[in-house]
Structure 1
Amino acid sequence: MGRVIGLRCVSCGRIYSPDEVEYVCPRCGPIRGTLEVLYDYDDLKKNLKVADIERGPLSQWRYLPLLPVSGSRGLPRLRVGWTPLYRSKNLEKDFDFGELWLKDDGLNPSGSLKDRASQVAVAHALEKGREIMVAASTGNAASSLAVNAAPEGIRTVILVPEGAPRAKLAQLLVFGAEVYQVRGTYDDAYDLSIELALRKGWYLRSTAYNPYLGEGKKTVALELAEQLRWKAPDWVVIPVGDGCIFQSVWKGFRDLHRIGFIDSLPRLIGVQAEGCSPLKKAFFEGKETVEVRPVSTIADSIMVANPRDQVKALKAARESGGTFISVSDQEILNAIR
């Protein structure tokens, strides 16, 4: 594992020891006080070599020296990560790009990139001796947790908003999760998951509030760099709901840059639905947090009115020299067809 030396608040900058705080900065609270996992980068730069990574297993655990878990209680057994990267020459012609690559995380066990976070969460829960995990989700994150926790014998409690797709609920039940529909939105389910975790001592697998989830998601950036022969792409385009994947991709590239594995950093483009684009609005208005308004889109997996990783996501866009864009529901449907 990477030696975690602290957890830094993204707003006030205070650094906590990993044993001092579990989830968010107590001074800044759950939105402004999300935490960034810090490693001993000097030690990693001195002692970790590219060859060490390349000798690792063909899964995200090849990046264990850059992750906050040791595997002392065992690592989740399903294979997650090291998914294909395809070059799309047809799209290159259509849009006049030099090179366009597509990362296919649909080959992960639950069919989602979120398996990367769930595996780190499960490993972390095992190391802490937690036997129950709770999460709020519109479907994908919950399915991911249920699939990855089941082989390890961990009980999962999932809170979903009313209207969550039935197909996603069925997947949860197949893997033995306890599923509860919350009368309200995803944001209501999210707040309830935090309350249950803190009150009952369950391990929380809800994005942003738990700083270790982003460390799992950042492995997609580590893979992209390795698959491109340890070079960062010029741009990375990412769909955005809560903002956790977006900021995690930036964190992954920054970690590699800090230890000398890559020479440059990419610019990020976050894509939101027109009917739910609070981060885009805040970005162009120069704000550090979003204004919460009613939202509506067919893209249920990214329909988040109050993105929980908003501070990190907005910082990632600005630090990378990137931007946010939005697309209409009709454009989404046209792309699917």
Structure 2
Amino acid sequence: MGGPFTGYVRGLQCRECRTEYPPIQLAVCESCFGPLEVRYEIDAVRAAFQSSFLAGRPHTLWRYRELLPVFDDRAIVDLAPGYTPLRRAKNLESAIGTGEIWIKDDTVNPTYSFKDRPVAVAIAKAREWSLPAVGCASTGNLAAATAAAAAKARIPCYVFAPASLEPAKLLLPQLYGGIVVPIDGTYDDANRVALQVADRRGWGFVNINLRPYYAEGSKTLLFETWEQLGFDLPDVIVAPLG
């Protein structure tokens, strides 16, 4: 991967009122405060992309480059997240008497969770916009993923977390050089303070003012599953929720 990439991003669109925006740094819709999503020129992607193109690409989430909202490849900080194993659970199939069951194992990502996927995209956007620092509001896995990517990018990282959180949950982000900012109250309180800091200091918080781009990294899990199943989609997808 080299320099600037024109990409296929059309812009941002509000999920609620459908208002559209250019692909700028914007957390929520300015009209209704609804969540924003990245929209692509799908017809152009279909015309340009073939599954055969994947053969020589890196075994990371960046192999699906056309469907990720990063315009300059030089902004990518590649800890090699993604393209995790798809493991068949034959014993589970036998136990419940069903057909094939496959488990996507994201525990082998750089910081051992699926959070490395969205963080990779968010940190790339922060670098594109030359933001002075990055951070997150988190109670665990997201903090580790953000701190690791920030360390690789040599960008200061701040983790806003409830002061009551068990210290062990914040050990890994601190090992990566992240600065933990304890906030009295709940996760929602930490999130609110992080939003205020993002506005005042111009920092990029991956799950706040970079959220529309952050969310794009998660979909690569399904792209990989489709590819690993021989370019076929599963009949049913079961996703655990916290």
TM-score bracket, normalised by the shorter chain, equals over 0.9
Contact in 1 for aligned 2:14/2:37 (Cα 8 Å)? yes
What value does the CA root-mean-square deviation take over the aligned residues? 1.5
Instruction: Give the one of 24, 35, 38 matched to 2:28.
Output: 24
* Alpha-carbon distance between aligned partners in 2 of 1:147 and 1:187, rounded to the nearest angstrom: 23
Q: Structure 2: how far apart are the matches of 1:236 and 1:81?
A: 18
Q: Which residue of 2 aligns with 1:50?
A: 51
Q: Distance in 1 between matches of 2:175 and 2:210?
A: 27
- Number of residues of Structure 1 aligned to a counterpart in Structure 2: 237
Asked if residue 170 in structure 1 is aligned to residue 171 in structure 2, the reply is: yes
Among all aligned residue pairs of Structure 1 and Structure 2, give the percentage whose two residues are the same amino acid.
Answer: 39
- What is the 5 A alignment of 1:184-263? 184-206=185-207, 210-240=211-241
Q: Cα offset for 1:72?
A: 3.8
| TM, length-normalised to structure 2 | 0.93
In the other structure, the counterpart of 1:67 is 68
Per-residue deviation, 1:147:
0.9
Kept after mapping to 1: 8 A contact 2:160/2:190? yes
User: Matches of 1:99 and 1:39 in 2, distance apart?
Assistant: 33
Tell me which amino acid in the other structure corresponds to 1:38: R
For residue 218 of structure 1, give the secondary structure of its aligned residue in structure 2. helix
Aligned-partner residue type, residue 183 of structure 1: D
Unaligned runs of 5+ in 2: none
Q: Render the CA deviation track for 1:106-150: whole Å, top value 9, x for unaligned.
A: 111110100011111111111111120121011110110001110
Q: Deviations over 1:61-83 (max 9, x none)?
A: 10111100134434213111111
* Superposed CA offset, 1:72-113 (max 9, x none): 434213111111010000000111120111111111111010
Q: Which runs of 4+ in 1 moved over 4 A?
A: none
For the Cα contact (< 8 Å) 2:107–2:114, is it kept in 1?
A: yes
Q: Return the letter of the residue paired with 1:95.
A: I
State the shift of 1:53 in Å: 2.4
Match of 1:181?
A: 182
Cα distance in 1 between the residues matched to 2:144 and 2:123: 13
What TM-score does the superposition give when structure 1 sets the normalisation length?
0.68
CA apart distance, 1:209: 6.5
